[in-house]
Amino acid sequence: MKAVILAAGEGKRMLPLTLVTPKPMLRIAGKPILERIIDALPFEITELIIVIGYKSELIENYFGDLYEGKLITYIVQQEPKGTYDALLQVREQIRKHFGDFSEKFLLLNADDLHGSEALAEAVQEPLALIVARHEDPRKFGIVSRNDDGTLKNIIEKPESFEDTLVSTGAMVLDERIFNYEVKPAANGEFYLPVALQQLAAEYPVKLIEQPEWVPIGYPEDLERAEGLLAGVE
């Protein structure tokens, strides 16, 4: 099974740390964020497709073409046009590997730490979205579920909220995610949740709760992540 990791962003909210280092390569307790993400992947993942952009040579030079037995392919997102655009960059590469698009893949952002157990649970599902509780859901997309535990709706960065269950941005997808039209947002970017919501309206997307999720958006999140890791390592 393949994992697609989106690692092309500039990490502007992490300035000045990202002036010389791409966000996925910032270190937490001695290891780059991206390395910790890869280390948490379930054994089913045997190949990585990493979408790169900003200071991409630092990522390629560090991991090379093979990491811990996992083959790595790098795909460049030339312009920062959002998460759905980043996924579209790998479509032909997925076709090359999967042939008839019969296989599913795990999609992750390169700036979130995940506990391995929820990832292992998610890859057992045909389609899945990993969700978590967060004290400030306004930074993310609030998720509602159907009675059968599948995805019902995502509301991106709401002004008000009644629940704290949010999308972590990690999910199990297959070729059907490319069947939907995604129009650009006001900022010109194309966002994956728009396509995901259309997918969930036609096919069941299982929600998997992640108790060990650390989103890393600001410099202070690095210290928080180190503190959490110190308690388990």
Q: Is the pLDDT of residue 204 over 60?
A: yes
Q: What is the pLDDT of residues 26-63, one digit of tens each?
A: 999 889 999 999 999 999 999 999 999 999 999 999 99
Q: What is the pLDDT of residues 134-145, one digit of tens each?
A: 887 777 888 999
Contact 107, 173 (CB under 8 A): yes
Q: What is the pLDDT of residues 86-126, one digit of tens each?
A: 999 998 887 665 554 458 999 999 988 999 999 999 999 99
Place of tokens 């490319």: 178
Q: What is the pLDDT of residues 173-183, one digit of tens each?
A: 998 999 998 99
Q: Please tell me the pTM assigned to this model.
A: 0.91
Q: How far apart are CA 146 and CA 90, in angstroms?
A: 30
Domain harbouring 11, CATH code? 3.90.550.10
What pLDDT does 101 receive? 46
Query: For 152-178, what is the mean pLDDT?
Result: 86
Which domain, by its residues, includes 38?
Answer: 2-230
Instruction: Give the amino acid at 189.
Output: E
Q: Give the chain's domain count.
A: 1
